[in-house]
Structure 1
Amino acid sequence: MSEFLRSTLTGLKAAGIAGAIGALFVLGGRAGWYGSSQIVAVPLSSSVTHAGAIYFLPKTSIVLDLTWRCDIVQRGPSAKGAYDVVIDGGIEISEFSAKAEPDHAYGYAIKSDTIDGIFWRTDLDITLSNGMLVSLNATSSGQIPNQDRFEKIFTSIASAAPLINKTAAVQDADAAAQRVAICGTPLIQATETKDANGKAVGLSVRKVVRFDPDDCPTDFQKLSDRCILDGQLVLSSLLLDGEAAAEVLRRSSVEIQTVRFKAVAAKASSSGIAYRTPGSANVRVCSPQCDIAGRTIAANNFVVPQFGTIGVVSIERRMFSDRTTQLKFGAWGELTEAKFTDAASVAADKGEK
C-alpha cells in the first residue's frame, strides 16, 4: 500500500463522514476520476491523433470572374495622323464576391474525454457546415451578392507600325494586310459576324480566380501591396501575332489592390471553444492600374475573418450544478448569440432535503 493511500485511510477514520467525503474529493481529483471541469478544445497537430469533434475557423476567399472581349477590329487614326489597326473591347466582371471556407491552418479538436465526468453528465450538440462551427449547445447535469459589371478598358489598342506617307488606297490595302497579320482571320471574322441583336459575336478570354485577400491570385505578379495581371499574358492568345502589339496589349492589364483592416490576430491561448471576430478589407479591381492613369472597374468591402481576432468561450461544469451553454455563430465565424444558465442540480436539492 502506498504511503499516500495509507495516510488517506488514516484520515478517513479520524475525520468521520465529512472528512471521508473531503478526502474522497482530493483522492479522486488527483487520480482524475471526475473528468475535466471544462470542455477542452485544443489546436490540431499533425503529430497527434485527436479523439473528438474537429472544426476549423473560417477564412475569406475572394472570387473574381473576368472576361476580356474583342468585339471590333478595324482601321483607325493613329497619333501620327496615319492609320493603325484598332481593337475595341472591354472587360466583363460577372462575379466579384467573398466566400467563407475553412482555414486549415486554424483547426481545433473538442476532446471527447473532457465531456463527461463521474459527478456530471454532459450532452453536447454541435452543428458544423463545411467543417466550420454553426452552433454549440452544452447541457451539464450535477455566414455579396454577385455583381454584373461591364466597363470599357481598352478603346484603342494599336499595332506598332503606323502607315505613313502613303496614298489612301495603299493605306487601305496595307491596313487590311496589317490587320490580318496581327489579328488573324478567326478574330476578324468573329468581330464581323453579328448576332440576332446586331451585336458582334467577337472572341473572348475568361479567367476565374479565387484568392486570399492577403495574397495574389495565380498568374498575378505581386508588387508590394499590388497584384498585377499583364494584359499581354491574357490577350495575346486572341491575336495571331501578340508580340507585334505587346506594348499596347498591356493597356488591358488588371490590377487588384487590397486595403487591409487587420486586428492583432493570434492563436487562442485558452483551451475553450475558439472562434473568430472578423476583420475586413477593401478590394479594388482596376485597369490598367489603380492610379490616376487607370480606372476602377469594381470595388467592394469584404468581411475577412482571418484579419480579425480569435476569442475563446469556456464551457465549465460544477458539481451539484446544472449548467447550459448555448453558442451560435454567423457565416463568417463571428459569435452571434451566447446564453449561459446555472442552477442547483436536482440531485443537490434532494440531498439538502
Structure 2
Amino acid sequence: MHNQVQSSKSLTSNSVAIARLLSISVLLYGALRIARAWISPNSAGSEMMGVLVFSCAAGLGLWANTYDSALPKRMFVMFFNAFCLLTLLSHLRPGGRPIDPIPLWQVIWFGLTFGMNIYVLARGKILHAEPMQFADEEPDADANNNPTPQSTPAAGITSTTRDHHFAMTRMVLQALLRSEHAAPFVNGLKSKGRTLFASVWDDYGKKSIKDPAHIIPSEDIEVYVDKTASGKEIITIKMPPPVARNETFFVAIVADDESGSFYTYSLELSVMPNTGKVFTMLTGIRNGNRANFGIGPTPDKNAFVAAISSMLETPKEPSTMMQMPTLLATANMQA
C-alpha cells in the first residue's frame, strides 16, 4: 500500500548522535596526528601527549556510548571525560598552561566533545527507563506441542521496553478502539492508512513523552487492509521496528460483528530468559483482557495476516489471559 522506508536506528537521541560524531572526529584527528608524527618526527608538537590523552577519552566515550551500556562502564568513562574537560578548562585560566601549547579552537572542540559525552553517559539509564513488564509473556514449555522458538531478523535486542512504543500498542490504540470515536478511527485507517496512524503516533510523542530523546519516529509505520477467506476484514499496522521484549512488529485490528466493537492481535518480540533466544509471540487484547496465544510466525506481514486469518476462521484458546491495567488518560483522544 505504501512505499517502505528504511528502518530508523534504535537510538533516536540527537544528543547521542552528536556525542558520537564529535568523538569520532577527535579520534580521527588523533590518528592523523600520530600518522604525521610517524612520517615526519620533527613535526610533532609539544601538545602531542595531550592530544593523545584527549583522543583516548573520546574513544572511551564512543565505546561506552552504546545501547544499555553497563553503569560501571558509563561511570568510569564519564569521570575520565570530566577529568579531561577540567584539564582543558584549567588551560584557559590566566597563567595556567598545563598543556603547552594547544590552540583555542582545539580547547572548544575537545571540550564540547567531553561535555556531550558526560551528558549522554550521565543520562544513559534515564534514556532507557523500563516500564511495566508482564509475568505471563514467556511461552509454556508444553504450549503448542513444544514448538521451537523462531529467530527474528531484529538486531540489537535489549531488555528495555521504550515508553512510546509500549504505550501506543497497549494504551493509546486500545483507548481509541474502546472510545466513541472507534468506528470513525478505523474507517479513517482504511482510507488514510499510514497518514492517520502516524499522526496519532507523533501527536502522542509530542504531548506525552517529556524528553524528546524518547520520541520514536513514525517513518516506518505502514497500514494494510486484508480479508480472510470468509471475507472478514483485517487492518494491519506495521509498527516502528521493535528492539525490546513486549514491543510489537504488527498489530491487527478486527471488528466484532456481534457487538460492533473492535479488538486487536499483536505479534510481539520476546526473548527466552534462560537462553536469550529471540522469537515472536502472538497476543491479543479484547474487552480489556489480554491473551497470550503462544509462539508466533516470523515477523513478516503476510505470515502474520495468515496466522490471524487462521485464528479468526478457527478460534483458538489462549495459553494465558490477564486483565489489562487501567488505560492511561487517552480515552478522550479524538480520532
TM over 0.5: no
TM-score, normalised to structure 2, is: 0.23
TM-score relative to the length of structure 1? 0.23
More helix by share: 2
Select the structure that is richer in strand: 1
Question: Between Structure 1 and Structure 2, whose CA radius of gyration is higher?
Answer: 1
